Amino acid sequence: MSVRDIIILGCSSQQPTRHRNHGAYLVRWNDEGLLFDPGEGTQRQFIFANVAPPVVTRIFVSHFHGDHCLGLGSILMRLNLDKVTHPIHVYYPASGKKYFDRLRYGTVYHETINVVEHPVSCAGI
Protein backbone atom coordinates (compact mmCIF):
# COMPACT_ATOMS: atom_id res chain seq x y z
CA MET A 1 0.00 0.00 0.00
CA SER A 2 1.35 3.41 -0.88
CA VAL A 3 1.92 6.06 1.76
CA ARG A 4 0.41 9.47 1.16
CA ASP A 5 0.01 11.82 4.06
CA ILE A 6 0.80 15.29 5.35
CA ILE A 7 2.31 15.71 8.79
CA ILE A 8 2.17 19.19 10.26
CA LEU A 9 5.34 19.48 12.32
CA GLY A 10 4.63 23.08 13.28
CA CYS A 11 2.18 25.84 12.40
CA SER A 12 2.99 28.74 14.68
CA SER A 13 4.70 31.11 12.25
CA GLN A 14 7.21 33.47 13.88
CA GLN A 15 6.38 32.85 17.53
CA PRO A 16 6.20 29.29 18.82
CA THR A 17 4.03 28.47 21.80
CA ARG A 18 4.17 25.64 24.33
CA HIS A 19 2.06 23.51 22.05
CA ARG A 20 2.90 24.79 18.56
CA ASN A 21 6.30 24.96 16.89
CA HIS A 22 7.52 27.14 14.02
CA GLY A 23 6.07 26.01 10.71
CA ALA A 24 7.30 22.84 9.01
CA TYR A 25 5.43 20.32 6.92
CA LEU A 26 6.30 16.79 5.85
CA VAL A 27 4.54 15.23 2.87
CA ARG A 28 5.07 11.49 2.54
CA TRP A 29 4.36 10.36 -0.99
CA ASN A 30 5.26 6.72 -1.66
CA ASP A 31 9.05 6.55 -1.24
CA GLU A 32 9.54 10.33 -1.02
CA GLY A 33 9.62 12.46 2.12
CA LEU A 34 9.14 16.12 1.17
CA LEU A 35 9.99 18.55 3.96
CA PHE A 36 8.74 22.12 3.50
CA ASP A 37 10.10 25.18 5.33
CA PRO A 38 11.95 23.59 8.26
CA GLY A 39 11.72 26.24 10.95
CA GLU A 40 13.71 26.19 14.17
CA GLY A 41 12.98 23.09 16.25
CA THR A 42 11.84 20.92 13.34
CA GLN A 43 14.16 18.08 14.33
CA ARG A 44 12.45 17.89 17.73
CA GLN A 45 9.01 17.91 16.11
CA PHE A 46 9.90 14.71 14.25
CA ILE A 47 10.12 13.03 17.67
CA PHE A 48 6.65 14.27 18.68
CA ALA A 49 5.24 13.11 15.34
CA ASN A 50 6.87 9.68 15.78
CA VAL A 51 8.57 10.00 12.39
CA ALA A 52 12.22 9.15 11.73
CA PRO A 53 14.05 12.05 10.01
CA PRO A 54 15.72 9.72 7.44
CA VAL A 55 12.39 9.56 5.58
CA VAL A 56 13.30 13.02 4.22
CA THR A 57 14.45 12.88 0.59
CA ARG A 58 13.74 16.46 -0.48
CA ILE A 59 13.73 19.77 1.38
CA PHE A 60 12.03 22.91 0.10
CA VAL A 61 12.79 26.36 1.53
CA SER A 62 10.32 28.95 0.22
CA HIS A 63 12.33 31.93 1.52
CA PHE A 64 14.96 32.73 4.11
CA HIS A 65 12.95 34.22 6.97
CA GLY A 66 13.98 32.44 10.16
CA ASP A 67 10.66 30.71 10.78
CA HIS A 68 11.01 29.03 7.38
CA CYS A 69 14.67 27.98 7.42
CA LEU A 70 16.43 27.98 10.80
CA GLY A 71 15.89 24.24 11.22
CA LEU A 72 17.64 23.41 7.95
CA GLY A 73 21.14 23.06 9.40
CA SER A 74 20.05 20.78 12.24
CA ILE A 75 18.01 18.56 9.91
CA LEU A 76 20.98 18.15 7.57
CA MET A 77 23.25 17.37 10.54
CA ARG A 78 20.72 14.83 11.85
CA LEU A 79 20.50 13.09 8.48
CA ASN A 80 24.29 13.00 8.48
CA LEU A 81 24.38 11.47 11.99
CA ASP A 82 21.81 8.89 10.90
CA LYS A 83 24.15 7.94 8.04
CA VAL A 84 21.49 8.45 5.38
CA THR A 85 22.66 6.94 2.09
CA HIS A 86 20.08 8.40 -0.29
CA PRO A 87 20.66 11.87 -1.78
CA ILE A 88 18.96 14.82 -0.10
CA HIS A 89 17.68 17.24 -2.73
CA VAL A 90 17.31 20.80 -1.45
CA TYR A 91 15.33 23.46 -3.33
CA TYR A 92 15.66 27.12 -2.35
CA PRO A 93 15.54 30.59 -3.94
CA ALA A 94 18.78 31.12 -5.87
CA SER A 95 18.97 34.66 -4.49
CA GLY A 96 19.44 33.15 -1.01
CA LYS A 97 22.51 31.01 -1.80
CA LYS A 98 24.68 32.75 0.82
CA TYR A 99 22.00 32.14 3.49
CA PHE A 100 21.69 28.50 2.46
CA ASP A 101 25.46 28.07 2.81
CA ARG A 102 25.44 29.74 6.22
CA LEU A 103 22.76 27.36 7.45
CA ARG A 104 24.36 24.29 5.89
CA TYR A 105 27.89 25.00 7.11
CA GLY A 106 27.02 26.89 10.31
CA THR A 107 28.64 24.28 12.55
CA VAL A 108 31.63 22.00 12.30
CA TYR A 109 30.86 18.41 11.38
CA HIS A 110 32.13 15.86 8.89
CA GLU A 111 29.51 15.84 6.16
CA THR A 112 28.98 12.41 4.64
CA ILE A 113 25.51 12.83 3.13
CA ASN A 114 24.95 13.69 -0.51
CA VAL A 115 23.19 17.07 -0.57
CA VAL A 116 22.07 17.97 -4.08
CA GLU A 117 21.36 21.69 -4.35
CA HIS A 118 18.62 22.99 -6.64
CA PRO A 119 18.70 26.81 -6.49
CA VAL A 120 15.50 28.07 -8.11
CA SER A 121 15.90 31.33 -10.01
CA CYS A 122 12.39 31.71 -11.44
CA ALA A 123 9.01 32.02 -9.74
CA GLY A 124 7.58 28.65 -8.78
CA ILE A 125 9.18 25.25 -8.99
Residues with catalytic annotation? 67
Does the CA dihedral 60-64-67-70 come out positive or negative? Answer: positive
Intra-chain end-to-end CA distance of the chain, in Å = 28
> Rounded to whole angstroms, how far apart are CA atoms 123 and 100?
18
> Rounded to whole angstroms, how far apart are CA atoms 94 and 112?
24
Q: What residue type is assigned to position 30 of the chain?
A: N
